[in-house]
Chains A and B, each alone.
Chain A
Amino acid sequence: MGLTVLLLAVGLYLGLFIAPVDYQQGESYRIMFIHVPAAWMSMFIYVSMAGAGAIGLVWNSKLSEVFASACAPIGASFTFLALVTGSLWGKPMWGAWWAWDARLTSELILFFLYIGYMALQASIDDPKRAARASAILALVGVVNIPIIHFSVEWWNTLHQPASVSKIGKPSIHPSMLAPLLLMAIGFTTYFVAVALMRMRNEILEREKHTTWVVQVLESKP
C-alpha cells in the first residue's frame, strides 16, 4: 500500500507538473495518465479473473475462486473509470461524449461482462457453484479482450491506435511515458492490495467452521 502511494505520487507529479504540453491536444491530454492505465487495468484484471476462474475449474482450488470473485468489482470500477475519463477526453477532442466506435463499444461490453459476472455470482448461494458458473462466463468473455486490443487496427476507429505497446520504439516521448508507466505500476500494486483486502474478508467468511478462524476471532474480540 505504501508502495502504491509512492508510485502514484511520483506518477502524478511527473504527469501533472513535469510532462510538457501536447502540441496537438493542449493540456487535455493529461487525462491520459488516468485513462490509459485504467483501461490497461480493466483488461489485465479481467484476464487475471478469467485465468483464476479456469484454475479454480480445473484444480478446484478455493483460493483462486476467492481471488476471481475479488477481482470483479475492482475490475468493473477501473473499466468504469476508463469509460468516463475517455468520455471526458472525447468531448473536448472529438466533440462528442460518446461514439459507437469499436474500441469504445468493446470496452463497454467489458463493463457489462464484469456486471454480469457479479450478478451471476450473487444469484447463486452455494459458493462452489457460483464460482464455477461465473468462471465459465468469464472464460467465454475473454474473447472480448483481443477484440478491445486490436479494435483500433481492425476497424477504422475514432479512437487513436496504440502508441505505447508498439513493437520496437513507442511513439511517445519519455517525459510522458515515464508518468504513464508509473501510474500503471501504481494501479497494479493498488489492485493487488485491495484484492487481498477483499480476499481476506471472503476467506474468513467461507472458513467460519474451521478452528483457525475461531482462533483468529478469539484473538480479536
Chain B
Amino acid sequence: MNWSEFFAMGGYGAYVWNSYALAAVILVLNVYLPLRRRRVVLRMLHEFLRLKGQTK
C-alpha cells in the first residue's frame, strides 16, 4: 500500500488524524492522571502515618 495516500485519507487527513490523535491523548491522560494521583496519595498517607505516630 501507498503510505502517503494512507496519510492523506482521500483529502480528509487533517480531520481523520486529528480525531485519532485526540483519542490517543485522552486515552493516555486517563491512565497518567490516576498514576500521578497514586503517587500523591501514597506520599500524603505516609506523611499522615508519620504524624500520627508522633502524637501517640
Contact = CB atoms under 8 A, between A and B. Distances in A.
Interface string B4-45: 001001111001101110110011011101110110011011
A77 B33 CA distance: 12
B11 A200 contact: no
Given A80-B26, A92-B15, A34 B20 contact: yes
A contacts with B: majority SS: helix
Nearest to B20: A34
A190 interface: yes
Nearest to B1: A17
A122 interface: no
Contact of A27 (B10, B18, B34): B10
B30 A204 contact: no
A35 B19 contact: yes
A175 to B, nearest CB: 16
A205 B45 contact: yes
Contacts of A194: 30-31, 34
Nearest to A37: B23
B13 to A, nearest CB: 8
A17 B1 CA distance: 9
Contact of B9 (A17, A30, A34, A197): A30
Contact of A213 (B15, B18, B37, B45): B45
A157 to B, nearest CB: 21
B45 A201 contact: no
Nearest to B14: A88
B15 A205 contact: no
A21 interface: yes
Nearest to A202: B41
Contact of B37 (A34, A77, A81, A201): A201
Interface of A: 16-17, 21, 26-28, 30-31, 34-35, 38, 73-74, 77-78, 80-81, 84-85, 88-89, 91-92, 190, 194, 197-198, 200-201, 204-205, 208, 213-214, 217, 220-221
List 8 tightest A-B contacts by C-beta distance, closest first.
Answer: A27-B10, A28-B12, A197-B34, A27-B9, A85-B19, A26-B10, A88-B15, A31-B19
